[in-house]
Structure 1
Amino acid sequence: MKNCSCPYISFDFKSRFLPPVFILVFIIGLATNGWGLKSLLHKWKKLGIVNVFVLNLGLADILYLLTLPFLMVYYFRKGEWIFGDAFCKITRFCFNLNLYGSIGFLTCISVYRYLAIVHPLRVMGRLTVTHSVTISVMVWLLVSVQSLPDMFYVKTTNKNNTENCFDTTSKDYVEDYLRYSLGWTLTGFLIPLLITLGCYGHVIVVLCHTNTTDKVLKQKCLKLLFILILLFSVCYIPYHVLKNLTLYSRVLLNRNTLEIPWERGVFGAHQISRGLVCLNSALNPLVYLHTVEDISAQVRQLLQQTRQMFNCWCTSNPGRVPVSQNVDEV
């Protein structure tokens, strides 16, 4: 009966929960990332050091968002993959590039903020856009090397004349995949998390003990820190913890362990974390607002224009006059 529980949860629960999340992320993410990238590319020649990292962050999001329609079809069809084994691996590879590329570029932005505030004279004068481009290329290469072994694992299997597309691998290779996943979690997630926490921890200490620091700069750093905490706590931490726990439970099942009381709960929570982790493509554009001056100014201008249009509409709406007259007559 245990072996039947996972397919029941995966095909029924995932087909109801994941597609609406994917649709929401696809619409919001494509609109916000597209607008942000357009704003950055509009001033390509004046692209700053941190803007290069933000640009690559947006490209990583777009890469993943373009695969979401195929995953929507997959889950709407209750786990029937119709696009072939090669494209299944490409889709999962794009997800991993987005996930660990986002973590990598957020870490680069955090280190840049740290250097700009804690060591402004010693380091910042030596950094150029060329350095940030080189670092971005290294991040892409590192993430690709980390994600490439995942493509060599079995991703599709035919069961009851239905082809599935695994986000990890089939049960025959799950024990080896667990070891790979733990190493991947350490290098692709845990180490960048510690670097980010260390950078912003030091930045907050410096800002709190320096009275001469601009208040606007303090607010920007605190807001960006809040966004990063939101991304890691909602999107990244639950996904990595539950993914590895689910793999571990599958290993125990393969070893014929008689009872795993937490298996169902962990597997169901992992499906929720898979929906939450893709939210990073919709939440990452928040980073644009607190790192790129031009974009934040454009947003403020847009909000101001929207508010003015709304006020003008309210004052000039002819439908409001008859209502007031009728009230007076009554």
Structure 2
Amino acid sequence: MTAFSNGTYNGSLSPYRCVFHEDFKYILLPVSYSVVFVVGLILNIVTLYVILVQRHNWKPSSVYMFNLTICDTLYILTLPFLIYYYADENDWPFGEPLCKLIRFLFYTNLYGSILFLCCISLHRFLGICYPMHSLRWASTGRARLVSAGVWVVVVLFQAPVLYFSRTRKAGPERDTTCYDTTSEDLFDSFMVYSTAVSVLLFAMPFMVLMVCYGLMVRKLLETPYMAAEAASARSRQKSVKMIIIVLAVFMLCFLPFHLTRSLYYSFRYLDEQISCSQLEASSIAYKVTRPLASANSCLDPVLYFMAGQGFRRNITKKSKYRQTVKIRTMSTPM
């Protein structure tokens, strides 16, 4: 018998060795998910609008940003179901197929965001460190092919979530639990799968990103004359902003989530070698960082706004256009 209750029997008699007291999540998760839903939906809709307005003048970074925004929006639209679920204290009324879909879209967003952020960063890396090669390789057509490849990889890697995610009636009141991991009998297999995905779709891209950023920073810190060969002053400024924002997203959203989740899964796997207090502490840490992983849906649009000029340029043009129309209308004789 596994040594966890997954919060299902909070404070009551349980057939499991450990009983978790995690009532805090019934406030933390609905509130944090509500904030992400409202803020993320507004920011991503605005970003999608601006990108689509400029669709006739797309650059490779625009293609990647469009796909990143689609990825975030799909996830944000699933949050009302999770808000209701946790506000109702782990009672899932929507059926098992929708439970599977919600969990699938969460991890699709998570790893899709990681890979598309890597694509944006690698595109900038080529432009800074290998400007001549980037003219040949960093085209809009290739960006579309790479984006299609990212979607294929993410969907294939996350397809097992549709199998592992389950619902089960549990607790004294027979509430329906929608597992964010899997059922107890499949946890060992899920542990192997989750570890492989974390290494391939998080750890490795993160390492590549750090190497590329190190090379970019070294290039950007060269003398102004040498650096001008790689990029203009404005391009260097955009690159620095992008490095800061992407690293902030990884450090604040992705890294804490993966560290606490790996620790929690490891403790669950070790079972009786771990005390109940250690297991509960790891579970609390994992649940606290889950909203941080969702918050990347709010931070990703900031990348487009802060590191790119397209958003502000487009808003400025629209503002000038409206002022011009207003002046012409007022000056036109009746």
TM-score range, shorter chain: 0.7 to 0.9
- One-letter identity of the residue aligned with 1:225: I
C-alpha deviations, 1:109-158, integer Å up to 9, x for none? 01100111111112323432110000000000001111011211142111
The Cα of 1:91 is off from its aligned counterpart by 0.5
**Displacement after TM superposition at 1:301 (Å):** 8.1
Structure 1 position 37 matched with structure 2 position 55: no
Matched, 1:287 2:303: yes
Contact 1:246 1:263 in 2 (8 A): yes
Question: Matched residue of 1:201: which SS?
Answer: helix
Work out whether 1:239 is the aligned partner of 2:257.
yes
1:141-189 CA distances to partner (integer Å, 9 max, x unpaired)? Answer: 0011110112111421111321111111122221211111110001110
Moved more, 237-246 or 277-286: 237-246
Cα displacement string for residues 67-116 of structure 1 (whole angstroms, at most 9, x for unaligned residues)? 00010010010000000000000001111111100000000001100111
Aligned to 1:270: 286
Name stretches of at least 5 consecutive residues in structure 2 with no aligned partner.
11-19, 321-334
Give the structure 2 partner of residue 205 of structure 1: 218
Moved more, 102-111 or 160-169: 160-169
Which residue is 2:73 aligned to? 62
Q: Cα distance, 1:252 vs. partner?
A: 2.4
> RMSD over aligned Cα, in angstroms?
2.1
Answering whether residue 231 of structure 2 is matched by residue 218 of structure 1, we say no
What corresponds to 2:17 in structure 1?
none
Partners of 2:274 and 2:129 in 1: CA distance: 55
Q: How many residues are aligned here?
A: 301
State the one-letter code of the partner of 1:231.
V
Pick the aligned partner of 1:89 from 100, 122, 125: 100
The aligned runs of 1:116-265 (5 Å cut-off) are 116-160=127-171, 161-212=174-225, 213=228, 214-253=232-271, 256-257=272-273, 259-265=275-281
* 1:131 partner letter: R
Aligned to 1:297: 313
Report the Cα distance in structure 2 between the residues aligned to 1:258 and 1:94, rounded to whole angstroms.
Answer: 32
CA distance in 2, matches of 1:89, 1:293: 39
Query: Which residue identity lines up with residue 205 of structure 1 in the other structure?
Result: R
Change (3 A) 1:3 1:290: closer
Partner of 1:190, secondary structure, is helix
Q: Deviations over 1:246-296 (max 9, x none)?
A: 11222222xx33635421211101001101110000111111124432203
Q: Displacement of 1:27 after TM fit?
A: 0.7
Give the whole-Å Cα distance in 2 for the aligned partners of 1:85 and 1:297. Answer: 46
**Kept after mapping to 1: 8 A contact 2:103/2:165:** no
CA distance change for structure 1 residues 174 and 234 in 2, over 3 Å: closer, same or farther? same
In terms of mean alpha carbon deviation, does 273-282 or 293-302 score higher?
A: 293-302
Residue 13 (1) aligns with residue 13 (2): no
After superposition, the C-alpha distances for 1:186-244 in whole angstroms (9 at most, x for unaligned) are 11101111111111111110111141333332222121111111111111011111112
Are the counterparts in 2 of residues 81 and 163 from structure 1 also a CA contact under 8 Å?
yes
Aligned pair in 2 of structure 1 residues 171, 299: CA closer, same or farther (>3 Å)?
farther
Secondary structure of 2:181 counterpart:
coil
**Alignment gaps of 5+ in structure 1:** 305-330
Contact 1:171–1:250, Cα closer than 8 Å, also in 2: no
Question: Higher mean Cα deviation, 84-93 or 174-183?
Answer: 174-183
Residue 11 of structure 1 deviates from its aligned partner by 5.3
Query: TM-score with structure 1 length normalisation?
Result: 0.86
